[in-house]
Amino acid sequence: MKPSVKTRNFAIGALLVAAAAFVAITTGGIGENLVYYWGPKELREAGNKAVGATIRTSRKFEAETEQRLKKAIEEYKATFK
């Protein structure tokens, strides 16, 4: 077999595999399992949609949230001293 025929057959095979994967993903209900990235702005805009949603946030947002939580815990502890 000529190299050009091999290359063409390989390309056709690769396209068929990619098409099969695309069909499997689109028909397989993967939308239910997606995890969306939301920044602080999108999270606030989502409002009640954010409750129970599976999302990822940025490290900066996580760090800011952690700092606010620590501060709130310290303030809470200080009220009972």
What does the domain layout of the chain look like in residue ranges?
1-34, 35-81
Angle at 48 between CA 42 and CA 52, to 5 degrees: 90
Backbone CA torsion sign across 68, 72, 66, 56: negative
Q: Say which residue, 24 or 55, is predicted with more confidence.
A: 24
Distance CA 29, CA 36 (A): 15
CA distances from 80 to 65, 68, 72, 73 (A): 23, 19, 13, 11
> What is the percent of the chain with per-residue pLDDT over 70, rounded to a whole number?
79
Q: Say which residue, 33 or 68, is predicted with more confidence.
A: 68
